[in-house]
Amino acid sequence: MVTKKKSTGVKGVKSRATAGTRAIPKTVPSATYKEPGLMKRLAMGAVVCAEGYVFELERRGYLQAGAFVPTVLLEHPEVVEQLHRDFAHAGSDVTQALTYYVHREKLRVIGREKDLEAMNHVALKIAKKIARKTQTLFAGDICNTNVYDPNDGKALKQVARIFEEQVGWAADAGVDYIVAETFSWGQEALMALDAIKKHSKVPAVVTFSMHRELVTREGWTAAETCRRLEAAGAEVVGLNCHRGPRTMLPLLKEIRDAVKCHVAGLPVPYRTTEEQPSFMSLTDPCCQDRRAFPVGLDPFVVTRQEIADFGREAYAMGINYLGVCCGAGPQHIRALAESLGRRPEGSKYSVDMSKHAFFGTDQKIKTVQTEYQSRL
Ligand SMILES: [Zn+2]
């Protein structure tokens, strides 16, 4: 099957006509994969990719919300290593280097430009080590620069430099592919793709983010942006971050109908709504309707079931590069992997209520306990 798919070229394996009817594999444990590249894995089914590392590291107490720069790479590399292990154990098929926001502009903002190269190298080294140990794919990562301005030639040069140097370091480290993510501008995403094509020889997964509006900052729809990215050579296109499953799925459907290449969907694990479709727009009625982003989002976190529902629905729709972005914990990734029929190592600890003290159904559970259930 793999050989046959290979002959069709590296991209565009699934046609629109067949995408929605693909059967969900019964069991595809990650451990059975023997290091095929990204495109081969996508041809075989879904690829699960954990993202959102900076939010998880913030929750663990090793990263400051605000600038969101992972200085933890130099301060506590062992914590980053463990994070990668945790996500692989939970079912991620990918170990993505933590180079998100480790670019020249973000380091300038926090006054640590001198650490730019060292931080990128550490991130790539740790991710490569864990990827090889866990037989996951080793991905590089570039992202929104926050200086992109279509009317500022100097800024555009800065953006190009940021992408070129980070892609170069990732390529030198031997990444299997490169993710370019979280862009608000379609043109910036195209520039990132251009850098990957020029300065590496690996596939490009390009995902961008939709805020409240249903268009990018320059006014392109999600479908239009993806068509342009596909035409420019991206192997995988789609959306990541900002929107929760509920408000991202309709856009993924539009994208799936608009392109022939693989499509990616990596929502944030928050209950976004039609009125507040992005996690930055969520306000908490319990706290004077204050903006919940970034550290008051806890009451909006989706359940594992909601992530599993997203995984099943998106995969049935033909979205086969799946993940969870900012806010994701290993429990979400495990739920996503299991929704695709997988049994990652971490599934050994997935919920089983049969031996619960009150709700258990096992013979060993005393009726004095189960009879009390309704009064709990
Ligand atoms: Zn994110």
Centre of ligand 1 to C-alpha 339, Å, is 21
pLDDT digits (tens, 9 = 90+) for 248-271: 999 999 999 999 999 999 999 999
Centre of ligand 1 to C-alpha 328, Å, is 9
Contacts of 133 (CB under 8 A, 6+ apart): none
Token pair 């706290």: residue: 287
pLDDT digits (tens, 9 = 90+) for 311-337: 999 999 999 999 999 999 999 999 999
For the entire predicted model, the pTM comes to: 0.90
Centre of ligand 1 to C-alpha 242, Å, is 6
* Cβ atoms of residues 198 and 166 within 8 Å: no
Q: How many residues can be counted in the chain?
A: 376
Q: Is the pLDDT of residue 8 over 60?
A: no
Strand partners, 140: 178
Centre of ligand 1 to C-alpha 279, Å, is 10
- DSSP-derived secondary structure letter, 217: T
Centre of ligand 1 to C-alpha 17, Å, is 31
CA–CA gap between residue 332 and residue 284 (Å, rounded):
23
* Cβ atoms of residues 69 and 102 within 8 Å: yes
Percent of the chain with pLDDT over 90: 90
pLDDT at 244: 98
Average of pLDDT values for 218-236? 98
Name the band, by pLDDT with cuts 50, 70 and 90, for residue 35: low
* Cβ atoms of residues 196 and 255 within 8 Å: no
Helix (H) or strand (E) holding 58: helix 53-59
- The runs of H, that is alpha helices, within 91-150 are 104-109, 116-134
Centre of ligand 1 to C-alpha 327, Å, is 7
Q: Is the pLDDT of residue 71 over 50?
A: yes
CA torsion sign for 352, 357, 360, 362 is positive
* Cβ atoms of residues 220 and 258 within 8 Å: no
